[in-house]
Amino acid sequence: FPGPFTDVVTTNLKLRNPSDRKVCFKVKTTAPRRYCVRPNSGIIDPGSSVIVSVMLQPFDYDPNEKSKHKFMVQTTYAPPNISDMEAVWKEAKPDELMDSKLRCVFEMPNENDKLNDIDASKPTPVLNTSKQDGPMPKPHSVSLNDTETRKLVEECKRLQAEIMKLTDENRHLRDEGLRLRKVAHSDKSGSPTALALRDNGSNSLPSLLVVIAAIFIGFFLGKFIL
């Protein structure tokens, strides 16, 4: 009987009559309260067989306790014109009875069997074998899940907005630099203040371009290469 024994466990017993006479059978057990046997007695025709279901009732299994439950299948040739089965067994002589003894064995599934059952219960993934148009995606693109993709899109939008903002500031500074340059040219006195403003306006343009390029390159290096 395979465990666990939290529910009814059924084992089938096949009885076959190899003789040319009818045979009466009876199934007995040392623990009648633990088992339900259907049918527990009957007649088997010559060359025929019958299936006996032995149902073990639920119980608390103790692996340290050895099973002492036994079954005995008792048989005898059926007399002609049989009418009362009980009378057959009462009137049968000891030398006319045949019996087969069976010992019950309780087996609990081990951890490997449990793991195999869990793996077998998992659905098998179905591969899409249809032909796809276009090049295959890169390995790193396949490994991205929906959450990472969403974060990447949001980060790209934020970076684009920041680049647009820096572009506007750069345009503003460029216009301011042109205006200051015109003021410097128109200033005949050549004051030091005008020259300093002109130098600051011309030097701010390459600095902003370097900042924008560094942000863009650092973002894509962090997302895709690392």
Same domain, 18 and 98: yes
Q: Is the peptide bond before 39 cis (omega within 30 degrees of 0)?
A: yes
Residue 115 covered by a domain: no
The single residue listed with the structure tokens 């995606």 is: 137
Q: Are 156 and 70 members of one domain? A: no
CA pseudo-torsion sign 139, 142, 143, 144: positive
Q: What is the pLDDT of residue 217?
A: 67
Would you say residue 86 lies in a domain?
yes
- pLDDT at position 131, please? 46
If asked whether residues 83 and 156 sit together in one domain, one would say no
170 pLDDT band (50/70/90 cuts)? confident
CATH of the domain at 98: 2.60.40.10
Residue 113 placed within a domain: no
- Per-residue pLDDT reduced to its tens digit, 91-131: 888 899 999 999 999 988 775 554 455 455 555 554 444 44
88 and 161, same domain (yes or no): no
Percent over 70 (pLDDT), the chain = 65
Q: Are residues 16 and 96 in the same domain?
A: yes
Residue 63 lies in a domain: yes
Range from 8-12, 186-190, 191-195, 213-217 that averages highest in pLDDT: 8-12
199, part of any domain? no
Q: Residue 48's domain spans which residues?
A: 9-103
Does residue 139 belong to any structural domain of this protein?
no
Rounded CA-CA distance 144/151 in Å is 11
Which pTM does this prediction carry? Answer: 0.47
Q: Cα(78)–Cα(25) distance, rounded to whole angstroms?
A: 9
The total number of structural domains in the chain stands at: 2
Residue 29 lies in a domain: yes
Among 45, 80, 103, the domain-final residue is: 103
Q: Evaluate whether 30 touches 69 at the Cβ level (below 8 Å).
A: yes
Residues 105 and 102: their CA atoms lie apart, in Å, by 10
Rounded Cα–Cα distance for residues 107 and 130 (Å):
47
Query: What residues pair up with 71 in beta bridges, in sequence order?
Result: 29, 102
Residues 94 and 18 in one domain: yes
Residue 74 forms part of a structural domain? yes
* Beta carbons of 97 and 57 less than 8 angstroms apart: no
The arithmetic mean of pLDDT across residues 124-140, rounded, is: 48
* SS3 at position 128: coil
